[in-house]
Amino acid sequence: MAVQVARYRPRVVATGWLTLLSILAVSQTLHLLEHVAQMVQIHILGLSGASAQGIVGQLNVEWIHFIWNSWVLFALLMLVRRLRSSWWLVATALLAGWHLAEHLVIMGTYLSTGAVGSPGLLSAGGLINGGLPLARPDLHFIYNLAETIPLLIGWRVELNRA
Select the more confidently predicted residue: 1 or 82: 82
List pLDDT tens digits, range 43-75: 999 999 989 999 998 888 999 999 999 999 999
Span 139-158, mean pLDDT?
A: 98
Domain coordinates in residue numbering, the chain:
16-45+62-161
Whether 8 shows a pLDDT value over 70: the answer reads: no
First to last CA, the chain: 34
List pLDDT tens digits, range 72-124: 999 999 999 999 889 999 999 999 999 999 999 999 999 999 999 999 999 99
Q: What pLDDT, on the 0 to 100 scale, is given for residue 104?
A: 98
Please give the model's pTM, rounded to 2 decimal places.
0.88
Report the distance separating Cα 161 and Cα 147, nearest Å. 21
